[in-house]
Structure 1
Amino acid sequence: MRGRDRLRALVAGVVLVATVLAGCASIPDSGPVQEGDPITADVPSDVVYTPKGPVADSSQERILRDFISAGTGPQDNYAVAREYLSAGFADAWDARASVTVRPGGGATTRVGEDELEYAFTATATLDGGGHYVPATTSVPTSLGYSFVQEDAQWRISDAPDGTVLNPATFQSIFRAHAVYFYDPSFRYLVPDQRWFLARSSTSTRIASALLDGPSTWLQGAVVSAFPEGTQLSLTAITVDDGTARVDLTSDALSASDTARARMQAQLLASFSTLSTITAVDLSVESTVLDVPDLGGAAPLRDPTVDARPLVVADGVLGFASRSSVSPLPGLGPVVGALAPTSAEASADLSVVVVGTDRGALRVGADGSSLLVDGRAGLAPPTLDDAGWVWSVPVDDARAVTATGADGVPHAVTSTLPAGSAVVSFRVSRDGARALVLLDDQGESRLLVVALLRDSRGVPTALGPPVELAAPTGRPVDATWADQLTVATLTDTGEGSLVSLAEVGGSSAGSGQPSGSATTIVGGNGASSLRVLTAEGSVLEPRGSSWQDTGVVADLLATQR
């Protein structure tokens, strides 16, 4: 199971239990059978919520409570929810502006004769563009509502835009879809996750989001193959026998043959969460475009690595089994002799960046080694696909450096918060982003930042950080499970804990490895994570538990 699928399964289980325990009343269990919306080829079969309209002679409190519950029904542009609004406000309320996820109940307080305040603790918000933002504070959210009487019935005359949903309902009526952009070299596809209503022209929403460009935090780190200004020329995408027919505005005519092929690949990757779409045809204002095959230049999406654990054991770096270690040619003994504290190998296994007590070293398959950063107290250094070594001192998150194969360091403008210790800084396999785990006075902070480069590909700065839901406990290590999911290892005081978080999505626990865990590394999804204990045992997940692989190592290395 891939990392994001496992995470969704975990979250779905958690919210299902929470729904049962809470006795959620969003799904009616009595009354007449009602006909739901027709299922189209573009949308999977999902739960359809059918909220009820206002009950006659309801109090302001009842109207408010039922209005919030009616946010579960997006049919006909939230027509039922609008029944609770006054005639002068019903059309002005923007239900799609945002979603606030509220796991518990809320408290209603009267602040005026015709005014109520609704307060609750949110766990996440979703903006109108489909960007999911986990809450990083437990400070309550307060929303104000005003009331007016119409035909002797209370109605809401003013309310914040957006809806409020519990986690179970949110997971039922919204779905996550990654829209894909390219790294500047066009070698990798980079995901930019969004959430859309599960029953609303999903392919059109995905394509429109793609053409509108990347999320703010990714801008400058990724590129699109679509010429600037390109939009959909029709209001909806049609799907015929598995082929999505995407008609574009005339701006797309300026695209070269290669760009057209990349446009098609970008769309096909972005539609990958829709089982009804297996191919994409491009046209410009109804004129079909010829699109060549990219062949060997096809971009990589979520690249995989060797399934075996890469370790340092018996003085060498190599791939391990229960009984032996197969040294990496030209690298194994050299790395092992450096007394490494960390190691990360390039995708082609030609270079390893090694953390040691004297700094970060770049080791080549020819046996050469170069000290690329001799500063004391570095966090484990990391590589990108272009061969840059990224390093940062544990006690100075603002002092990020990138060093090329020539050994020349380049200072990188850092946006990381000062005052927190850097536990882990890991570049993603697409080279466009970095995962950062910070120790903020014993508490964990988990961030993702874009990596910005100049026209020559030289790293220049980090983009604005995006904060993910912080795992419980003291931070120990973090890794990319796949291109959309990150895993963290923390110490709760009662043992080790592994947590998963989607970049642009929700988070969940992933079990407690036995013993004192020191390192976590990614493989091919969440099911391929591995943990090293202080005793030298390599563990891997098996269902809801962590099992000993039988591999014993001094160090667990990362494969890019």
Structure 2
Amino acid sequence: MNGPAPRQAPLVAFMLVLLVLVLPGCARIPTSGPVGKSSEGSAGNVSAPVFLPAAPQQGAAPEAIIDYFYRAGSGYEDDYAVARQYLTQASSVSWRPDQRALVYRDARVVPTRTENVYNYELDVAYMVDADGIATQSPEGTVERIPVTVAQVDGEWRISDIPDGTAIPEETFKVIYGAYPIYFYDPTFTYAVPDVRWFIKNKTVKAMTSALLAGPAPYLRGAVASAFPSGIKLARESVPVVSGAAQVDLTAKELMATSAEDRLRMQMQLTLTFRSQPDVVNVELRANQDLVRVEDDGTVLPPVQNKSVPSRQIAISDRELVRYENNRISPLPDMQPVSSLNPRYPAESPVSQAAAFLNAGRTTLYSILPGQPARALTTRSTLTRPSFDLHDWVWTAGPGASGASEVAAFRPAGTAAGVTVPTVSLKPAWLAGRAVKEFRMSREGVRALVISEQNGQTRVQITGVIRGRDGTPRELTTPVTLAASGQPDQGVWVTDTTVAVMKGSKAANVTAELLSLTSGEPQPLAPWPGLVALSAGNGADDIYGQSAEGIFQRLGNGWSPQISGPLDPAFPG
């Protein structure tokens, strides 16, 4: 196909990796030509629609044949039987519709200077590949699909066409759904969702194939899989029999794994199939023979959607405090920090370490019980700190050359006067961008990054590649989430959802939820003067701060909590 290459982004896992990614709001559907009928049907999903597109019309011109062919691509039943009627016999055999789906806002057939060759010209929103990975296209991306036609028994048919389908955006929203497949963090302790997009009634087989193919690009190197490299499905189906998904794998690779690995494979598949109502359990098979999976209790299921404690760290009277149950109390065993004018605190989820910035956001401090605060770095500006499960505290800001750097420090376990372990990362995708927010995910594998360039912000999710000891080594090329405004701060809400906003002391502020599993940003109720966000466990555990105090999200509004504390933040 011709045209500009789309950039990576989720709906991720467009995630689209979206990840991911993201279904824009309104779209115009072309109105010329037959649309066909639709009915409800399913194969394991009662809500999966079935489109019944129109067959070729006698005497139709080449332009109509091409246009109707792509409309028929929404009719996936019987291996796109109707769409294949628009092709010559040879093309019908060779065409592979499942290789990718181009999702478009508008389309038209354009003649070329070559006889019987046309371009199907698309205003592309995003592309979904064979593994369900969605890639967002920049606004205004035009893709031209070359199509060659020939006459067969006096009727025009398509003789040469690239693999894949093209689907109007509104139709895509109906027949495709977002489904997390799951990988592990490198310690096999936590489950990490990798959101993919599949046709709604073909999900069990599609999920399995995607899982065996490995994680989306933004998670490669950051996550682990129990499935060994090279393992494949032994047959091109995953039947569900009496609630059991029978996953038939190539025997050589499967039998070479350990009992522990096979149990982790089964757990990985079980998590992945949780969205499928007809799947109760998972059976591993080797060339159709059932493989016994033993569980002696030594391998624990991975933690999904890791929760955080109910407490928050905050600033009150220029000291670090604990905010919980709408009350404040001193942070245990911490020395005074009022002389440092602290703001934007963070607390480790695995130790008693804490960190904060000064009011000017130029210096990052860490503090441990019984020790004075120590300066970790000084920059012209820094993002508020964020801890991960390996006890590294993260921030971002300009380095010595002025270019954006992401820095991580590990103060816990470091005696006073001893240099704190430090890592500085300079990912190429941050070149020319100013980082506004850097927040680690709760399982420690991903980070939310909000950056700005020329007044335009970008909300992205990157993967964190670590060494064997957990030391950060690299940030992966991220996926991009589509926000409706220009947010400058954000927090994790669940393992697939973040809340973002652009704070303002003088205006109504509308925060919104961005989800890897949903196509549209979800606005929260506007509230005057919101300047900070924090989030605990789920969308009902979101807090906002204004000059009037702290507010908790309640239904479609905000409920006043307490006045006085500043910058509350849950551990992490």
Q: Specify the TM-score bucket, using the shorter chain as the normaliser.
A: 0.7 to 0.9
Specify which of 370, 379, 383 is matched with residue 383 of structure 2: 379
**Structure 2 counterpart of 1:227, one-letter code:** P
- Evaluate the alpha carbon distance shift between residue 465 and residue 549 of structure 1 in structure 2; reply closer, same or farther with a 3 A threshold: same
Distance 1:84 1:491 in 2: 54
Quote how far apart the aligned CAs of 1:122 are: 2.2
Distance 1:164 1:335 in 2: 59
Quote how far apart the aligned CAs of 1:109 are: 3.1
Aligned equivalent of 2:452: 439
Aligned equivalent of 2:231: 230
Aligned equivalent of 1:86: 88
**Structure 2 counterpart of 1:344, one-letter code:** A
Quote how far apart the aligned CAs of 1:327 are: 4.6
Distance 2:362 2:430 in 1: 26
**Structure 1 counterpart of 2:527, one-letter code:** S
Specify which of 288, 291, 314 is matched with residue 291 of structure 2: 288
Quote how far apart the aligned CAs of 1:346 are: 2.6
Aligned equivalent of 1:170: 172
Quote how far apart the aligned CAs of 1:53 are: 0.5
Aligned equivalent of 1:212: 213
Aligned equivalent of 1:258: 260
Distance 1:270 1:337 in 2: 51
- Evaluate the alpha carbon distance shift between residue 449 and residue 14 of structure 1 in structure 2; reply closer, same or farther with a 3 A threshold: closer
Quote how far apart the aligned CAs of 1:131 are: 0.2
- Evaluate the alpha carbon distance shift between residue 450 and residue 51 of structure 1 in structure 2; reply closer, same or farther with a 3 A threshold: same
Specify which of 459, 481, 487 is matched with residue 493 of structure 2: 481
- Evaluate the alpha carbon distance shift between residue 156 and residue 232 of structure 1 in structure 2; reply closer, same or farther with a 3 A threshold: closer
Cα deviation, 1:14-36, whole Å, max 9, x if unaligned, reads 97x8799999974628xxxx8x8
Would you say how many aligned residue pairs link Structure 1 and Structure 2?
Answer: 539
Distance 2:235 2:313 in 1: 50
**Structure 1 counterpart of 2:485, one-letter code:** G
Quote how far apart the aligned CAs of 1:75 are: 1.0
- Larger CA deviation: 111-120 vs 78-87: 111-120
Unaligned ranges ≥5, structure 1: none
Quote how far apart the aligned CAs of 1:313 are: 4.1
**Structure 1 counterpart of 2:107, one-letter code:** G
Report the 3-state secondary structure (helix = DSSP H, G, I; strand = E; otherwise coil) of the residue aligned with 2:560: strand
Cα deviation, 1:137-171, whole Å, max 9, x if unaligned, reads 32333333332222222222333332222333212
- Evaluate the alpha carbon distance shift between residue 73 and residue 308 of structure 1 in structure 2; reply closer, same or farther with a 3 A threshold: farther
Aligned equivalent of 2:395: 391
Is residue 185 of structure 1 aligned with residue 197 of structure 2? no
- Evaluate the alpha carbon distance shift between residue 89 and residue 291 of structure 1 in structure 2; reply closer, same or farther with a 3 A threshold: same
Aligned partners of 1:108 and 1:119 also within 8 Å: yes
Aligned equivalent of 2:246: 245
**Structure 1 counterpart of 2:439, one-letter code:** R
**Structure 2 counterpart of 1:302, one-letter code:** N
Distance 1:460 1:125 in 2: 30
Distance 1:541 1:108 in 2: 50
Aligned partners of 1:360 and 1:372 also within 8 Å: yes
Distance 2:337 2:445 in 1: 27
Specify which of 368, 373, 385 is matched with residue 369 of structure 1: 373
**Structure 1 counterpart of 2:291, one-letter code:** V
Report the 3-state secondary structure (helix = DSSP H, G, I; strand = E; otherwise coil) of the residue aligned with 1:393: strand
Q: Write out aligned runs for 1:268-307 (5 A).
A: 268-285=270-287, 286-294=289-297, 297-307=300-310
Cα deviation, 1:162-193, whole Å, max 9, x if unaligned, reads 22223332122222222211111111111112
Report the 3-state secondary structure (helix = DSSP H, G, I; strand = E; otherwise coil) of the residue aligned with 2:94: coil
Distance 2:442 2:23 in 1: 30
Report the 3-state secondary structure (helix = DSSP H, G, I; strand = E; otherwise coil) of the residue aligned with 1:211: helix
**Structure 1 counterpart of 2:206, one-letter code:** R
Is residue 506 of structure 1 aligned with residue 549 of structure 2? no
Quote how far apart the aligned CAs of 1:230 are: 2.7
Aligned equivalent of 2:124: 122
Aligned partners of 2:96 and 2:164 also within 8 Å: yes
Quote how far apart the aligned CAs of 1:429 are: 1.0
Quote how far apart the aligned CAs of 1:281 are: 3.2
Cα deviation, 1:463-498, whole Å, max 9, x if unaligned, reads 2222333x2433320222221223321369985343
- Evaluate the alpha carbon distance shift between residue 426 and residue 397 of structure 1 in structure 2; reply closer, same or farther with a 3 A threshold: farther
Unaligned ranges ≥5, structure 2: 1-12, 415-419
Specify which of 397, 418, 425 is matched with residue 438 of structure 2: 425
Report the 3-state secondary structure (helix = DSSP H, G, I; strand = E; otherwise coil) of the residue aligned with 2:261: helix
- Evaluate the alpha carbon distance shift between residue 499 and residue 148 of structure 1 in structure 2; reply closer, same or farther with a 3 A threshold: farther
Distance 2:551 2:256 in 1: 53
Aligned equivalent of 2:562: 551
- Larger CA deviation: 301-310 vs 88-97: 301-310
Distance 1:14 1:419 in 2: 26
- Evaluate the alpha carbon distance shift between residue 535 and residue 26 of structure 1 in structure 2; reply closer, same or farther with a 3 A threshold: farther
Aligned equivalent of 2:536: 523
Aligned equivalent of 1:401: 407
Quote how far apart the aligned CAs of 1:535 are: 4.5
Distance 1:161 1:534 in 2: 57
Aligned partners of 1:176 and 1:195 also within 8 Å: yes
Distance 1:146 1:129 in 2: 27
Aligned equivalent of 2:475: 462
Report the 3-state secondary structure (helix = DSSP H, G, I; strand = E; otherwise coil) of the residue aligned with 2:342: coil
Aligned partners of 1:398 and 1:416 also within 8 Å: no
- Larger CA deviation: 232-241 vs 399-408: 232-241
Aligned partners of 1:473 and 1:491 also within 8 Å: no
Is residue 451 of structure 1 aligned with residue 452 of structure 2? no
Cα deviation, 1:201-250, whole Å, max 9, x if unaligned, reads x2232222212222232221111122333333344333344333334323
Aligned partners of 2:30 and 2:107 also within 8 Å: no
Quote how far apart the aligned CAs of 1:428 are: 0.9
**Structure 2 counterpart of 1:270, one-letter code:** T
Distance 2:167 2:223 in 1: 33
**Structure 2 counterpart of 1:401, one-letter code:** A
- Evaluate the alpha carbon distance shift between residue 482 and residue 293 of structure 1 in structure 2; reply closer, same or farther with a 3 A threshold: farther
**Structure 2 counterpart of 1:430, one-letter code:** E
Aligned partners of 2:549 and 2:561 also within 8 Å: no
Aligned partners of 1:359 and 1:373 also within 8 Å: yes
Distance 1:342 1:22 in 2: 53
Report the 3-state secondary structure (helix = DSSP H, G, I; strand = E; otherwise coil) of the residue aligned with 1:445: strand
Distance 1:335 1:87 in 2: 78
Report the 3-state secondary structure (helix = DSSP H, G, I; strand = E; otherwise coil) of the residue aligned with 2:502: strand
**Structure 2 counterpart of 1:506, one-letter code:** G
**Structure 2 counterpart of 1:473, one-letter code:** G
Aligned equivalent of 2:4: none
Distance 1:498 1:136 in 2: 24
Specify which of 342, 345, 348 is matched with residue 344 of structure 2: 342
Aligned partners of 2:22 and 2:519 also within 8 Å: no
Distance 2:395 2:314 in 1: 21
Specify which of 11, 20, 28 is matched with residue 37 of structure 2: 28
Aligned partners of 2:181 and 2:211 also within 8 Å: yes
**Structure 2 counterpart of 1:340, one-letter code:** P
Of structures 1 and 2, the one scoring higher in RCO (CA 8 A, sep 6+) is 2
CA RMSD in angstroms, aligned pairs only: 3.5
Distance 2:455 2:371 in 1: 40
